[in-house]
């Protein structure tokens, strides 16, 4: 995967995560919408639980992004 696409995908994921964590996205997808936006196991989560989950996933994604920049063969 080219570097520009790797960076673009990370920026798009970061925008999605920022929306959920800081701009009310967690409240909007709370309930049945979380099945499609997060995963099936998030159906009965509150907005705070969704925000925490997305924050953790975002941290791991940032680590993977840096690893992908350093070692291009690990980009998926």
* Angstrom distance (rounded) from CA 10 to CA 27: 23
Query: How many other CB atoms are found less than 10 A from the CB of residue 39?
Result: 11
Q: Which pLDDT score, from 0 to 100, does residue 37 have?
A: 80
* Angstrom distance (rounded) from CA 57 to CA 71: 21
Q: Which pLDDT score, from 0 to 100, does residue 6 have?
A: 95
Crossing angle of helices 47-70/3-22, nearest 10°?
160
Q: Which pLDDT score, from 0 to 100, does residue 34 have?
A: 80
Yes or no: say if 48 and 42 are a contact pair by the CB < 8 Å rule. Answer: no
> What confidence tens digit (pLDDT) does each residue in 3-62 have?
999 999 999 999 999 999 999 888 898 877 888 788 887 778 888 998 999 999 999 999
76 vs 20, higher pLDDT: 20
């Amino acid at each position: 995967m080219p570097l520009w696409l790797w960076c673009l995908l990370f920026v798009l994921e970061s925008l999605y995560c920022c929306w959920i964590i800081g701009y009310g996205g967690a409240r909007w997808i709370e309930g049945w919408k979380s099945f499609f936006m997060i995963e099936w196991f998030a159906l009965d989560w509150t907005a705070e639980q969704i925000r925490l989950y997305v924050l953790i996933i975002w941290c791991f994604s940032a680590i993977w992004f840096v690893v992908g920049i350093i070692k291009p063969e690990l980009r998926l």
